[in-house]
Structure 1
Amino acid sequence: MRRAAVFLLLLAAGCTAPAPVPPPGQPPSPSPSAPLPWVGTWATAVEGGGRPFDGHTLRQSVHTSIGGDIARLRLTNEFGDRPLMVGAVRLGGSVPVTFGGTASVTIPAGGTATSDEVPFDVPAGGDVTVSMYLPSPTGPSTRHAIAVRHNQVAAGDQTSAGRLTAPKNESSWFFLAGLDVRSDAGAVVAFGASITDGLGSASGANRRWPDLLSDRLRAAGLPVAVLNAGISGNRLLADDRGPSGMSRFERDVLRQPGARWAIISDDPLNDLGAADPPSADRIVAALRELISRAHAAGLRVICSTLTPFEGAGYFNERAERGRAQVNAFVRSADSGCDAVLDQDAATRDPARPTRFLPRHDSGDHLHPSADGFQAIADAVDLSWFTAGRPAADGPPPSARPPRPARTSATG
C-alpha cells in the first residue's frame, strides 16, 4: 500500500515513476542502443567532363574495404549543368535503394544525394555492383575518370536484370561518390594524384596501393576502412584534372564518413612537373595548411614523401630540387605530421636515388609497377592505426583519440 501511495503522489506531481529495480541476482534489462555511425567502405574523388547519358542504365562495380549489413549510397551531380534525374537504383542487381522513401531522386546541379539506409550484406574486400537508371538527358556527367576497371552502360531500364542486354564498357565511375556501412571502424583516406589513383595497375584487379593497404589491414584483423581520394593528373595548387588538392581537401578527406586518418600523398609531383611550377616553399606552405586543417577536424595526418621520377616526361633539375625540399620538410621534426610514409625510400634505387628501383618502375619512370605499389603499401606501419584506439569501456568510436607521437616508416 505504501509503494502504491508513493506512485500516486508522483503522478499527481507530474513526475514519472522510477524504473523498476530487478530482483537481486537478475541483470538489468538492456537499454535500446544507438545505431552505429556511418563509415565509408568505398569512396572516390570526382571531377567534371564525363560523357552524357539519356535513357541508359549504368552498372558499376566498387571494391569495398570493410563489411557491414546496413548500407547507404552517396550520389553526386557536383559538376552537372542541370538537375540529374535518377529513375531507379539497385545494389547487387536485386536490392532496391530509396531516397526519402521513393525509388527515384532528382539531384540539383552542383548537388549530392544520400540514400536511405538499406539492409544489404556488404562484403569486406569484395565487389558490389550499383545499377542506376538515367531516364532523361544528363548533360556532361560528374565522374571519376580512371576507375581502373570496366563498368557497363546499356539502353533502357535494366536495373533489375541479372545480365545487361547489349552493354558497352566504360572506364570511369559516373555519379558515384561513396558507399557507406554502419560500423564502429574508422577510415583512413588516401589523398593524392595518379600514384594514389592506381594508374597503370591491372584493370579490375584492385591492386592500387590503397587496396593493398586495405588487404594488409584486414589480414591483421584491424577494423580500418581505406578510402581512395586520388585523381590522376591532379595538382595541389592549381585546378588541373579536377579541382586543386587545396580546394577539394574538405570534400574528399574531411567530410568522409568515419574519417580518422589522412595520408597526404603525391599531388605535389604534378605541381613540380608543370609548365608553370610553384616554388617548393609554396608547396610546403600548402602542406602545412592541410595538416593544420586535418588536425582541426580531429584527424591524424600521415605525410608521404614524393617518389623519384627521373626519366619521366616532365622531369627536370628544378623539379628534382623541389622534390628534395618537400621530402626534407615531410621528414623534419617540425612538419606537424603525425607519421611519415616514406614512399621515396620504399621505391628508389639506392644506387641512383632520383630514379625508381627498376623492379618498382612501370616503365614510364613516374608511376610504380605492381611491385612498386606493393612496396608502398608494405611501407605503411600498421601500428599507426592502433595507437590510441579507445578501450572497450572507453570513449565511443566517434571520439577522436589523442594523436600519437610522430613516427616514420620506410621500405
Structure 2
Amino acid sequence: MVAAFMTGLDVSIVNVALPSIRAGLHATEDGLQWTVSGYALTFGLLLIPAGRMGDARSRRTLFMWGVALFTLSSAACGLAWNMTVLITARLVQGMAAGAVNPQVSGLIQQMFQRRERGRAFGALGAAIGVSTAAGPLIGGALVTLSGPELGWRWVFLVNVPIGLVLLPLAWRVLPAPRQDAPRRRESMDPVGVLLLGVGVAGLLLPFIQRHQWEGNAKWLLIPASLLVLAGFVTWERFYWREPLVNLALFRKRSYRLGTGIALFYFAGFTGIFFIFTMYLQSGLHYTALLAGLSITPFALGSASASVVGGRLVSRAGRRVVAIGLITVIVGLSATMAATVLVPGPGVGLATALPLLVAGVGSGLVISPNQAITLSEVPPAGGGSAAGVLQTGQRLGSAIGIATAGSTFFGSLGEGWATAFRHGLMVIMLFVVIALSAAAYDLARTR
C-alpha cells in the first residue's frame, strides 16, 4: 500500500511545484509539460510487461527492483541541475512506477481470498484515491515550508527515505517464490511487448503533447495506433506460446466491463483535480497550499469510503460501483451549483461539502470495481491482468485531462468560473458513460 501510495502521489504532487521548477531551472513550457507527462507516459507503457514478468518470475523481486529504481530516480529528480536531467529522471521514475504497481495487485490476488481480497483491494483503492487527491496538498505544503527554491526539490526527495525503509521490509514480509513450484519458462513475447508499447505510446502522445504539437496532424497518431493495437490483438490470438495478454479474460463480463468502467471513470476522476487547481491558482490566485487544502475533502471522502466499499463488494457486487458513480454525479452537480451561488474567493469553502460527497462516491467506485474486475482472474495471471486494467486507467487519465483541459481553456473568454463548469460537464459525461456500463452489467446479472 505504501508503494502504491508513493507512485500514485507523483502523478499529481508535481503540479503545484511547476512554477518553482520554472524559476529554479529556467524551464520552458515544453520542459514543464514533459516533467508531468513523461512520468505518465512511461508509467503506462511498463504496466502490462511488468505484470507479466512478475507473474512469470517473482513478484517480490520485481517489486523490490522497482522500488529501488523509483528511490534512485526520485533522488536524481530532487538533485537535478538542469531540465534535461530532471526530465530523464522523471521518465525513469515512471518506468519504476509501472514496474511496481502490477505487483501490488498481483500480490493481493496471491495472498488473499474472497472477502479478505475485497478488503485488501479496498485498502488499495484508498491508497490510489488519497494519493491522487492529496498530491496537490502535500506538494503545496512542501513548497510553502521549504520555500520556492528548495520546495520543488523536496517534492521528489521525500520519496527517498520511504523507499529506503520499504526495501528491507519487502524482503522480509512479501512472499518469496515457492522453491518446490515448477519453473515457468514461457517466452516474454517480445513482439507483443513491442506492438503494445508502440500502440499505447501512440495513443497517449497526442493527448500529452496537445499544446506543444501545433496543428491537427498529431491526431493522426490515434488511428495509426489503433491499427498497431489491432495487429497486437491478432498477434496475441495466434501466438504459439503463452501470449503477453490472455485475451480470453475479455470473454468474462466482469473483466471486460470492469476495465471499461475504469477507463471512463479515471477520465473523469483525474480531470477534476487538473481543472480545479487551475481555476483556484490561476483564476482566483490561491496559493499552492490553499489550493491543495480545497481538494482535501475529496481525498478524505475517498479514503473513508474505499475501506467501506472493500467490505461491501463481496455482498453487493457491482451495485456498490453503481451507487458510487451516482454519488459522484450528485457531488459534482452540487460542486457546479456552488460555483454559481458563491462566486469569487469563497468558492474553495463552498465546494468543500460537494467535493466530500463526490469523494465518498469515488471511494465506492475504484476499489470495488478493481476487486470485481479481477475476481475471476486466476492468481497466477493476476499481475498481467492488473497491468491491463491499470493501463486502461492511465489511458483514461490522459484522455480526461486533455478533453476537460481543452474545454476549460477554450471557455476562458467567458470567465474562469464558467470555464470550470464547462470542464466539469465533460468530466460528468465520462462518469455517466461508466455508470451506463455498470447498469448494463447489473441488468445482465438479473
Q: Is TM (by shorter chain) over 0.5? A: no
TM-score (norm 1): 0.27
TM-score scaled by length of structure 2: 0.25
Compare CA radii of gyration and give the structure with the larger one.
1
More strand by share: 1
Higher helix share: 2
Q: Larger relative contact order (C-alpha < 8 A, sep ≥ 6)?
A: 2
